[in-house]
């Protein structure tokens, strides 16, 4: 299952993020949750917090978080935050 993130992945997206991820976590057959960063040009610390929360919830139900199509500033921020230690970045 893939969640396509908006251009601005920040606190203003948290309600949609939680709704999308709750639906995905309820599907027991899925093994991974893909976060599509192809449109993301901006992310802040709340976006990193949302990814950490998602990773923890996924780990509880034997799923993993995979970040795909990340580039530019978003990729740099994920690298600086050492997110590759928590999620699979492809």
Q: How does pLDDT run across 10-22, given as a tens digit for each residue?
A: 999 999 999 988 8
- Here the CATH number for the domain that contains residue 30 is 3.30.750.24
Q: Which residue has the higher pLDDT, 29 or 42?
A: 42
Predicted pLDDT at 34:
93
Per the structure, the complete domain to which residue 41 belongs is given by 1-89
CA-to-CA distance for 57 and 22, rounded, in angstroms?
9
Section 62-87 average pLDDT:
95
Query: Using an 8 Å Cβ cutoff, are 87 and 65 in contact?
Result: yes
Mean model confidence pLDDT for the chain: 93
Measured N-to-C along each axis, helices 14-26 and 45-60 cross at an angle, to the nearest 10 degrees, of 10
Q: How many domains does the chain have?
A: 1
List the one residue out of 38, 54, 51 whose CA is nearest residue 6. Answer: 38
Predicted pLDDT at 8:
96
In sign, the C-alpha dihedral spanning 41, 18, 34, 53 is positive
Which pTM value belongs to this model? 0.89
């Amino acid at each position: 299952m893939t969640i396509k993130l908006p251009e601005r992945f920040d606190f203003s997206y948290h309600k949609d993020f939680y709704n999308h991820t709750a639906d995905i976590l309820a599907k027991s057959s899925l093994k991974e949750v893909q976060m599509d960063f192809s449109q993301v040009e901006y992310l802040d610390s709340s976006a990193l917090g949302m990814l950490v929360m998602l990773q923890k919830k996924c780990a509880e139900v034997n799923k993993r978080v995979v970040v795909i199509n990340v580039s530019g500033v978003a990729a740099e921020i994920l690298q600086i935050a050492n997110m590759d230690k928590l999620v699979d970045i492809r």
